[in-house]
Each structure stands twice: as C-alpha cells, then as structure tokens.
Homo-oligomer: A and B are copies of this chain.
C-alpha cells in the first residue's frame, strides 16, 4: 500500500505498450500530474506535443490479461490558473444545413481557474457572456489501459480499453474498472477538464493541467467487456463506438452482464433496467462516441444484490 510520488518527463498520444514509467502494486497510490490536451503543464509551458498527451504508463505488478484493474480517483485538482476552450460547436453535432451556412468563426477562449472559489471564469473573448463564472467540476477526459492485440490507439478516440471518453462522471471519488489486456495493464491518464459540457461538443472542455492522486486495485481472474465504474450513487458501464446507438448497445449489454454477475437472473436484470435504467452522454465529438448506462446502487441494495457478495 505504498504511495508513489511521480513526476512525468515523457508523455504519449497513443495508448499502447510503451515502456512503463513506474511499477506499482495493487493497493498502491500514485500522486502525479497531467499536462493539458495541448501538452502544457502547471506553468503553462508546452513540454510535449499536443493531442491529449498521457502520463504513464504505470505497470501494475501481477496484472495479467483476463484480470480487471480498478482505478480510484482520490484527488483531481487543476494546478494552474489558465484554462482554454474551443468556441464553435463541432459540425458533426449540428444539422448539416446549419453547418453549411451558419457556422460562426472559430478561435479560442480563455478561462481563469480559481481553486479557492472553485470557479472557472471566462476572460476572453469579449462576448455577451461577459465574465461568466462556472463552478469547477474537474474530470479526466482520456485514460485507460493498453488495448488488446498489440494495438496502440490514438488518444483522440476510445474503445474497450477506455481512452478519450470525456464523461463528466469520471471525476474525484469515482472508481473505474478496466479489462486488463497486457501484462501490467499499463495505465495511462491525461486530458484534464476543469469544466465540461456533456458531449464535449466544442471539442474541448476547459483544458487544464492537473494534480492527480489515484489508487489502483487488481481484481484477479475476472474479465469485463467494457469500462465500468461506480460512485457513491451508481454503478455504470461505458460503451464507446459510433453511432451513439452502438455505444448504447455496448453500455447496456455490459451493465446487464454486471447485474448478472451480481447474482440477478437474466429476466430480473431486464425487468429492472426497463424501469430503472439511466443514460448519460459522454463524448459526441471524437471518432468513437461514449454512452453511459447506469443504475442506482440504492435500488440494488433494496433487492439485495449490492454490495456484492464477493
């Protein structure tokens, strides 16, 4: 149950079987930092090329294909004052005829991050929004493990290994579960957002560098199909694909599998989800979209399948 302080010096814009930067054990905690989507660090200096550069990978001792890796985000805090966003809703999210004739000009916007007041305040450009202040909701946009089959997958996209899911629920306090595809799992993380609208529809959240603390746990000989997570209130599954309809299919099917693993017979799982399921939209900007399928833990407790028997 060691705590590791790790200062990254190298970053990756594909998630794959890179040389591990640190070997850790199940139960260990890592205190580290991430740069923003453009490769800028806590001092707002560009230290690596852009494209959601990832800190890591972290090698988890004893992790083997067929295991599951649990990552708990203990702490996620912006570590500089300036955050940036794009300003135009992406054309893939708008009606084609609107896109053909009505798109505004692009450009960047800057937001001042104040972790004391816990706000992000728009400081430029000068628009009718003035100095709009939004409460911080720090979240990790892109993180995951090395994908199967020797692949190395761009941090622009996502799949069964995680990746660029941009889900607002991947925030402090969440535990995320990944299938392990390679020895050591090789956990990567980056692309922090101080705030983000659902879907990341302008292609960015308020992009920021982070101080991050996370704790890993290994669940041996238990495979899962897609990233899963739990927070205080929900268990959830993520599906990453296009169209969003297919992301719905993956997320829903994975949550049913989870309910079955918790001991529900198939019929009960289907009836339950029918009236209790909730969906959240992750990314609808990237090559693969993300849909979240979730159900309240309180309902699972009522019917006696949560917490898990284990």
Contact = CB atoms under 8 A, between A and B. Distances in A.
Contacts of A98: 253, 256
A273 interface: yes
A197 B276 contact: yes
B89 A151 contact: no
Number of copies of this protein chain within its complex = 4
Contact of A91 (B96, B202, B241): B96
Interface residues of A, number: 88
B276 A122 contact: no
A279 B277 contact: no
Interface in A32-69: 51
A33 to B, nearest CB: 23
A132 B298 CA distance: 12
A252 interface: yes
Contacts of A129: 268, 271-272, 303
B85 A90 contact: no
Ranked 8 nearest A-B pairs via Cβ = A202-B274, A91-B96, A243-B243, A244-B244, A197-B277, A279-B281, A127-B268, A152-B152
Interface of A: 13-14, 16, 51, 85-100, 102-105, 109, 120, 122, 125, 127-130, 132-134, 149-154, 195-199, 201-202, 204-206, 241-246, 248-250, 252-253, 256, 263-268, 270-279, 281, 284, 287, 289, 299, 302-305
